[in-house]
Amino acid sequence: MPTLTRSYRSLLLPLLIACLAVLAGCGAAGSAGDAENTPRSVTHVLSPGEQVAITATDTLKLERVNDSRCRKGAVCVWKGYVSYSFSLLNSAGATDIVLSESMPGAASSVSVNHLTFTLLDVDPATPPALNAAAPTYRVKVKITQGALERP
């Protein structure tokens, strides 16, 4: 079996270590880039007028709640629905977003650019009684920041 001379071994060992270091560095850089590009989700609970920063440049504000559901004790010709109107604010301006589980033409999940807004829970879940005061609405929204396309 041929053997390497001591001079070849002393050259190959540092070269092998350098190659492994370069490969490890490439793997780490790729992993860090992938981690930055991994979709992330966060959940917020908002009442009308409240806003929350969701990225360094984007803010979500719950503008208003439209509750046309038939109140308990009322006689109605249709069931009605509740919808939540948001504004997505950033340097480009404002984008209107409407989330609803039952409103015609609306959806419980909407995507705008790299962000997806999903209606998770609403309070109150049922309409108030006929003569009751307007409830304090709260809505739980999951915001998922999707992976950005790489150039």
Q: What is the pLDDT of residues 33-91, one digit of tens each?
A: 444 556 689 999 999 999 999 888 899 999 999 999 999 888 889 888 999 999 999 98
Question: Does 119 reside within a domain?
Answer: yes
Amino acid letter, residue 5: T
β strands within 22-106, DSSP E: 40-46, 51-53, 59-67, 82-90, 93-99
pLDDT above 70: percentage of residues in the chain: 71
Residue 148 is given by DSSP the state P
Question: Does 13 reside within a domain?
Answer: no
pLDDT above 90: percentage of residues in the chain: 39
Residue 118: count of CB within 10 angstroms of its CB: 17
* Stretch (H or E) spanning 111: strand 109-112
In the chain, the number of structural domains is 1
Residue 13 is predicted with a pLDDT of: 56
Question: Does 66 reside within a domain?
Answer: yes
Q: When comparing pLDDT for 99 and 147, which is higher?
A: 99
Residue ranges making up the domain that contains 121: 39-145
Residue 94 is predicted with a pLDDT of: 93
CATH of the domain at 65: 2.60.98
SS3 122: strand
The residues that bridge with 39 in the sheet, in sequence order, are none
